[in-house]
Amino acid sequence: MQVTFHGVRGSFPCSSPLNRRYGGNTASVSVEVSGEPPLLLDLGTGVPQFDDSRGRPTGEPFRAVALVTHLHLDHVLGLPFFAPVHQAGTQLDIYGPRQEAGTLRDGFAGLVEPPYFPLPLNEILGDIRFHDVWHDELEIGSAKVSVRPVPHVGPTVGYRVEWGGGTLAYISDHQAPPGLDSIDAGVLELCAGVDLLVHEAQYTRAEYAAKPNWGHCTVDYAVRVAREAGARTLCLYHHDPWRTDDDLDALVVEARAQAGGATTEVMAAAEGLSLTVVTRG
Ligand SMILES: [Zn+2]
Ligand SMILES: [Zn+2]
């Protein structure tokens, strides 16, 4: 499967001469296997950059499945600006966590409506279908998808995708416990032995100490999750919007040293980075 990053920031979109290499759009990843509709991981401000029209015969309607982790703005703000949803014939299935009050659809309907957006959700031309998930095993085309709750702020899930001969875990936002000394069992289940783990790495240790309950974890905690789960490659993700390109380069060097190089390869997600993920025999 082909995994491509369209947005790699957490919290809010940012654009500055100091972050151009990694990019300033928020959480958006596409996963593609030829012959099947793409999976979109989150719908942040990078998703309008995704264009599958090259692989789609002219005139055939857009079809995709979005796996959304939670409804914080950095994960959903791209949806109303994603051109295919305004085309007749589009079918977009959105999976995401049920809300404390109401359905997943209710949550999106509260965002996509005037005065925040010119149209209400039910007047959007494409057919958008919503599916509430929490602790589930799904079959989407030939993809096997596992869903587990992930500690964060508000209802949040993570995903494991087994598809096209590769495995991926996607943990976009992850509240580490005080002391950073244990890992949620459901998270470890999603990440066990994956070829690619995309895991948030929002804070340094000093930042985490100042914001211990803001819903996130540290770079070294992401490395810890990858090592304990036996992930082959860790891709640091959901970068803090204030992190410059040079800061990120330095954090990757530190994380590689911590990982020890033995089992887990470490990299940082960047806009436009595309990885071919295949299980090694
Ligand atoms: Zn986030
Ligand atoms: Zn969040």
**pTM, entire model:** 0.97
- pLDDT recorded at residue 70: 98
Its domain, for residue 152, covers 2-276
Distance from residue 185's CA to the centre of ligand 1 (Å): 21
CATH code for the domain in which residue 198 is found: 3.60.15.10
Distance from residue 172's CA to the centre of ligand 1 (Å): 6
Other beta carbons within 10 angstroms of residue 20's beta carbon come to 12
Query: Could you report the per-residue pLDDT of 220-278, keeping only the tens digit for each?
Result: 999 999 999 999 999 999 999 999 999 999 999 999 999 886 678 999 999 999 999 99
Residue 281 lies in a domain: no
Residue 124 lies in a domain: yes
- pLDDT recorded at residue 55: 66
Count up the domains in the chain and report the number: 1
Residue 226 lies in a domain: yes
Residue 111 lies in a domain: yes
Residue 145 lies in a domain: yes
* Percentage of the chain lying above the pLDDT 90 cut: 93
Residue 146 lies in a domain: yes
Distance from residue 173's CA to the centre of ligand 1 (Å): 5
Question: Residue 53 pLDDT more than 80?
Answer: no
- What is the SS3 assignment for 167? strand
Q: Strand order in 157-163's β-sheet?
A: 136-140, 143-149, 157-163, 166-171, 196-200, 233-237, 265-268
Residue 205 lies in a domain: yes
Residue 131 lies in a domain: yes
Ligand positioned closest to the Cα atom of 175: 2
